[in-house]
Structure 1
């Protein structure tokens, strides 16, 4: 009787662990990566930008991330965007020296 109960409990916990692991990895992967689907036409204040990410799919874009974690997608072809990228890169290299 003890063996039967132990086997049932083992299968139960194994099932719970499997469901939790699969659900956690699939949903967290989808939430981790943000994609630009449309672009802002507004010029942003470079002082508020702390990071950027380049994206080519589904559209060619630069995603700026502000100090508050807000993500804003813009066209990489604009001159101010190139200036902002250069400024962020310079700040990053200055911190690592």
Structure 2
């Protein structure tokens, strides 16, 4: 009887171990790309912005990245946002020369 219970327990733990290994641990999962879900309404200082990413899903947004690595999402329809994108693009082209 004890051998039967031990065998069932071993099979159970092997099943749990197999499922865990198939899913992988949290550390082995690829990093998800950050997405904007809400937008800031404040105008940012263009001089502090070093990069940007365009996003359309789940919301239409521009994610600006500051020199310190902070990511801030804003509406792409604002005039200052278009000016900031143009300024960042100009910096990129002058660095490449």
TM-score for the superposition, normalised by structure 1: 0.72
Alignment gaps of 5+ in structure 2? 1-20
Given the two structures, how large is their TM-score scaled by the length of structure 2?
0.72
- Greater helix share, structure number: 1
Runs of 4+ displaced beyond 4 Å: none
Radius of gyration: which is bigger? 2
The aligned residue for residue 60 of structure 2 is 60
Aligned to 1:76: 76
CA distance in 2, matches of 1:34, 1:70: 12
Shift of 1:29: 2.3
> Which string of whole-angstrom CA distances, capped at 9 and with x for unpartnered residues, describes residues 29-83 of structure 1?
22xx110000000000000000000000000000000000000000000000000
**Number of aligned positions between the proteins:** 76
Q: Which runs of 5+ in 1 are unaligned?
A: 1-18
1:47 aligned counterpart, secondary structure: helix
What SS class does the counterpart of residue 29 from structure 1 fall into?
coil
The yes-or-no answer on 1:29 pairing with 2:34 is no
Please give the residue correspondences for 1:13-28 in structure 2 after superposition, counting only pairs within 5 Å. 19=21, 22-23=24-25, 24-26=27-29, 28=30
Separation in structure 2 between the aligned mates of residue 29 and residue 72 of structure 1, nearest angstrom: 19
